[in-house]
A and B are shown apart, each in its own frame.
Chain A
Amino acid sequence: GAGVSQSPSNKVTEKGKDVELRCDPISGHTALYWYRQSLGQGLEFLIYFQGNSAPDKSGLPSDRFSAERTGGSVSTLTIQRTQQEDSAVYLCASSLGGGGAFFGQGTRLTVV
């Protein structure tokens, strides 16, 4: 498709389990962002990839969170040993150069 694609759209997991969230950016976009949004709250920056440069990980809330971007395209956000406070919508966005970013529909993560 032409837009940013995220999978799964919904994920329910048990506390303590690991989860992987996937993002397929728009083809050719060099920048990729992960944000999360809790209900009724603003966007919280997690991590940013730009081309082949080292990612900006300054927003990751703990060492349970990690992300990779393979071949400058697909990205995976991994949350280890999930906690209830990790429940949120995880949003991925991509952009080309200095333009605006385009978001995927998000993954709604519920930790029970």
Chain B
Amino acid sequence: RKEVEQDPGPFNVPEGATVAFNCTYSNSASQSFFWYRQDCRKEPKLLMSVYSSGNEDGRFTAQLNRASQYISLLIRDSKLSDSATYLCVVRQFSGGYNKLIFGAGTRLAVHP
């Protein structure tokens, strides 16, 4: 079983739609959580951290459920520029190392 699992998609949505991505992680000792976006042939870029209380940044809302080991990202009012791959990332402290574990990503395509 992968340490961080995501639905690969693609999610094809029209402009203005609301879309949600989910992610599950296997290690209950995971400490912190992030969403990244990666555009085609570009490096991943940090989108937002994820907190247990939930957090919002403009059209983006992230949620963490530690009991279920589940992370979500909600995008409201989708724009064409939101088209990208969204990576779920978990930080784990194990064996003296503080590792960042990346999911394989969920691809989003927003169309006119």
Residues in A lying within 8 Å of B, measured CB to CB: 31, 33, 35, 41-43, 45, 48, 50, 53, 56, 91, 93, 95, 98-106
Contacts and interface: CB of A to CB of B under 8 A. Distances in A.
Q: Is the interface of B mostly helix, strand, loop or mixed?
A: strand
Contacts of B44: 43, 91, 103
Interface stretch (B59-67, B73-81, B98-106): B98-106
A91 B45 CA distance: 12
Nearest to A106: B43
Interface of B: 31-32, 34, 36, 42-46, 49, 87, 89, 91, 95-105
B102 A43 contact: yes
A42 B104 contact: yes
Nearest to B42: A105
Given A56-B99, A91-B43, A98 B104 contact: no
Contacts of A100: 34, 36, 46, 49, 89
A26 B109 CA distance: 32
Nearest to B98: A50
Given A42-B105, A98-B32, A100-B34, A33 B100 contact: yes
